[in-house]
C-alpha cells in the first residue's frame, strides 16, 4: 500500500474515533457503538480532518488501511508463532 504516511492526527482520529464504530470494532465497542459502514467512516474522516486531510478518504481506503495495519500484522504474528512452535 503506497502513498503518503498518515499523520499522527489522522492515526488518532482513525484508530480512536472511527475504528470503534466500524464493521471491525471489537469488545465493548460491539455493544456500545452502532456499526457504521466504511463509506460513513470515510466521510467522517473527511469532515473531522478538514483542511488537514492528507488524502482523499474512501470507504475502500479506510477499510484497506485497517486491513494492512491491523489484520495482516496480526496474521503474520500468528503464522510466525505457529512456525516457531512447530520447531522450525
Condensed to tens digits (0 to 9), the pLDDT of residues 17-70 reads 999 999 999 889 899 999 999 999 999 999 999 999 999 999 999 999 998 888
The predicted structure's pLDDT at residue 21: 96
CA 62 to chain centre: 6
Residues 6+ apart with CB under 8 A from 77: none
Which pLDDT band holds residue 79 (cuts at 50, 70, 90)? Answer: low
**pLDDT band at 76; cut points 50, 70, 90:** low
Output the pLDDT for position 33: 93
- Calpha distance 63→39 (Å, rounded): 9
Measure the CA angle with vertex 34, ends 74 and 28; round to 5°.
50
Amino acid at each position: 500500500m503506497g502513498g503518503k504516511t498518515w499523520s499522527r492526527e489522522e492515526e488518532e482520529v482513525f484508530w480512536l474515533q472511527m475504528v470503534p464504530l466500524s464493521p471491525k470494532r471489537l469488545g465493548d465497542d460491539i455493544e456500545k457503538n452502532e456499526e457504521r459502514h466504511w463509506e460513513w467512516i470515510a466521510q467522517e474522516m473527511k469532515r473531522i480532518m478538514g483542511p488537514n486531510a492528507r488524502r482523499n478518504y474512501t470507504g475502500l481506503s479506510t477499510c484497506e488501511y485497517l486491513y494492512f495495519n491491523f489484520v495482516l500484522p496480526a496474521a503474520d504474528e500468528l503464522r510466525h508463532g505457529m512456525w516457531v512452535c512447530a520447531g522450525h
